[in-house]
A and B are shown apart, each in its own frame.
Chain A
Amino acid sequence: MPARLAVAVVALALATVPVGCGGGPGERAGAGSGPVGGELRVAAAASLTEPFTALGRRFERAHPDVHLRFDFGPSSGLAQSLEEGAPADVFASADERIMDRVVDSGLVDRDEPVIFARNRLAIAVPVGNPGSVRGLDDLARPELLVGLCAADVPCGRLARALLRRAGVTPAVDTEELDAKALLSRITAGELDAGIVYHSDVVAAGDRVTAVAVPRGAPVATYPVAVLAGSAHPAAAAAFVTFVSSSTARPVLRRAGFLLP
């Protein structure tokens, strides 16, 4: 009897899972070329957290039957999850190479990705600049606590390219998994300096101070695309169009992004 009860509980749990995750009637309606609707899953680079959250609210107002669910994280990690079969309708990466990787895996059609934003780098320091950081050269000072993004995520790759061009060998104390994680260590004063995106500094407002990097420094490029396996291709395409639209551009610009 207890075994039967357990089986019943498991069966009940399994039966409720699809209901809990699905988006109701809109789910089926969104598949194919029918009306835009359902729950739209957007996997996006961590640096897009603020503008995409703001844009998402506007998009949902314009499409009341669509509910957006964002998954923000390091682009490389998101790409890995997508390759492992994580469900998503739209992918926005902070790196063209990572989008290319997803295209090569067959998850996105080759002519699909659109570049909708660019992002500069900035040196972020805690308020008051306790380490007296003036430029890239200071990142080589061993007495400072310096953080970079890990070498395999876009902000880490770009930061290293920037430092190499400047001929600076940084005295790195920690490598964070994305720019947001790095920035939170800097705002908390645990680190003296780190290289993050300009947009991250804008998002952090007065909780962080920025030190400019030299002109002509490498810039991150953001492609966005509908995933080939999307359950809601119409809604996904609408969102991709929306982030490049004239409505979205001021939001991205205010968030500190450059526009193509």
Chain B
Amino acid sequence: MAVALVALALVALPLVGLLQRAPWTALPGLLGRPVVVDALRLSLGTSLAATGLSVVLGVPLAWVLARAELPGRRLVRAVVVLPMVLPPVVGGAALLFALGRRGLVGQWLDQHFGILLPFSPAGVVVAQTFVAMPFLVVSVEAGFRAVDARFEHAAATLGASPWTVFRRVTLPGIAPSLAAGAVLCWARALGEFGATITFAGNLGGRTRTLPLATYQALQSDRGAALALSLVLVGVSLAVLLALRDRWFGAAG
């Protein structure tokens, strides 16, 4: 019991610390500062784009992992899940070696197409997708496994096209997992720091997302740092509320 209280304090105390230092009265003014507004706008745009990209790429990947007869599927899954356990800074460095200007694929993209991902908002989206997509894939893969394949077969034998089967049978089956996975993925993308600053750099309005702006503001402008932190805490609480049935429903 006492140990449980220590554990609870360890988790709750920093939040209390943040909230008691929060400049509540000055908050509206702080939230209107260019530093905060730029970071908020950029973060919303990039994290939603990363979530969209994760859905478009991650759902087929989850389907392959759940349904396809694939040699070495366990290895593929391990690679897919790796960014969840990899330190994000390492992920950012890896992205740099792959997609940076002197990277494996990056130098080719630069020379032939003039595409340069680092130091651009697109680079932020790539970094966020790298780190956040596994959360969606894992969730949606579980969803695919829960859908009974016999319904899909039945629909197909009744003359439904593959697209109709997916849209009318499979998609409704995975919808809850897809929604939960997308929310988790978005939250992770929004909070992404290490891979972003390593791969995409740090420039106001272009690549300086909320977490980067918070970190930088801590060095010079405490008020702005607190305001930015509160925005991120608010978002996190909203995610918890959105997912409360899924996570806390069973436990009461």
Q: Measuring CB to CB, which residues of chain A are less than 8 angstroms from any residue of chain B?
A: 3, 6-7, 10, 74, 76-77, 80, 145, 147, 150, 152-153, 172-177, 185, 188-190
Q: Roughly how many angstroms separate A10 CA and B102 CA in the complex, as a whole number?
A: 48
Chain A residue at minimum C-beta to C-beta distance from B222: A80
Say whether, besides A176-B202, A189-B101, A190-B102, A3 and B1 are in contact (CB < 8 Å): yes
B181 within 8 A of A: no
Q: Hey, which chain A residues are within 8 Å of B118, CB to CB?
A: 190
Complex A-B, nearest 10 residue pairs according to Cβ-Cβ distance, in ascending order:
A174-B201, A152-B220, A173-B119, A189-B102, A6-B3, A77-B219, A76-B219, A174-B119, A174-B203, A175-B202
Q: Mark B198-212, 1 if CB is under 8 A from A, else 0.
A: 000111101110000
| Contacting pair B219 A74 (CB below 8 A) | yes
C-alpha spacing A7/B119, complex, angstroms: 48
| Dominant secondary structure of chain A at its interface with chain B | mixed
Query: Would you call A10 and B6 a contact (CB within 8 A)?
Result: yes
Question: Of A76, A80, A145, which is within 8 A of B101 by CB?
Answer: A145
Return chain A residues, CB-CB under 8 Å to B221. Answer: 152
Q: A152-B220, A190-B102 are in contact. List 4 more A-B contacts (CB 8 A).
A: A150-B216, A173-B119, A175-B201, A188-B102
Q: Among A6, A80, A189, point to the contact of B218 (Cβ < 8 A).
A: A80
Are the C-beta atoms of B207 and A174 separated by less than 8 Å? yes
Q: Cα distance A173–B220 when bound, in Å? A: 21
* Contact status of A145 and B102, CB under 8 A, knowing A3-B3, A80-B218, A172-B203: no
Q: How far is B221's CA from A6's CA once the two chains are assembled, in angstroms?
A: 41
Interface string of B29-51 (1 = CB under 8 A from A): 00000000000000000000000
B101 lies within 8 A of A175 (CB): no
Knowing A189-B101, A190-B96 touch, does A177 contact B6 (C-beta < 8 A)?
no
Kindly provide the distance from the CB of B75 to the nearest chain A CB, expressed in whole angstroms. 31
A152 adjacent to B219 (CB under 8 Å)? yes
The verdict on B100 contacting chain A, using a C-beta distance below 8 Å, is yes
A-B contact pairs, 26 of them (CB 8 A): A6-B3, A7-B3, A10-B3, A10-B6, A74-B219, A77-B219, A145-B116, A145-B119, A147-B201, A152-B216, A152-B220, A173-B201, A173-B206, A174-B119, A174-B201, A174-B203, A175-B204, A176-B202, A177-B216, A177-B219, A188-B96, A188-B100, A190-B96, A190-B100, A190-B102, A190-B118
A-contact 0/1 string along B132-159, CB 8 Å cutoff: 0000000000000000000000000000
Q: Is B2 an interface residue (CB 8 A)?
A: yes
Q: A150–B102 contact, CB under 8 A? A: no
Q: How far is the CB of B124 from chain A (nearest CB, A)?
A: 12
> Contacts of A3 on B, CB cut-off 8 Å?
1-3
Q: Are B219 and A175 in contact (CB under 8 A)?
A: no
Taking a contact as CB atoms under 8 Å apart, the answer to whether B3 and A150 are in contact is: no
Give the complex CA separation of A213 and B215 in angstroms.
Answer: 31
A6–B5 Cα distance when bound, in Å, is: 13
A185 to B203 alpha-carbon distance, docked (Å): 14
Contacts of B216 in A (CB 8 A): 150, 152, 177
A152 surroundings in chain B (CB, below 8 A): 216, 219-221
A77-B220 Cα distance, complex, nearest whole Å: 8
CB-defined interface of B1-21 with A at 8 Å, one 1/0 digit per residue?
A: 111001000000000000000
Asked if residues A150 and B2 are in contact (CB atoms below 8 Å), the reply is no
CA distance A235 to B208 in the complex (A): 42
Which A residues are CB-close (under 8 A) to B201? 147, 173-176, 185
A175 to B208, CA, bound (A): 9
Task: For residue B117, give the distance in angstroms from its CB to the closest CB of chain A.
Answer: 11
Q: In the complex the two chains form, is A80's CB within 8 Å of B3's CB? A: no
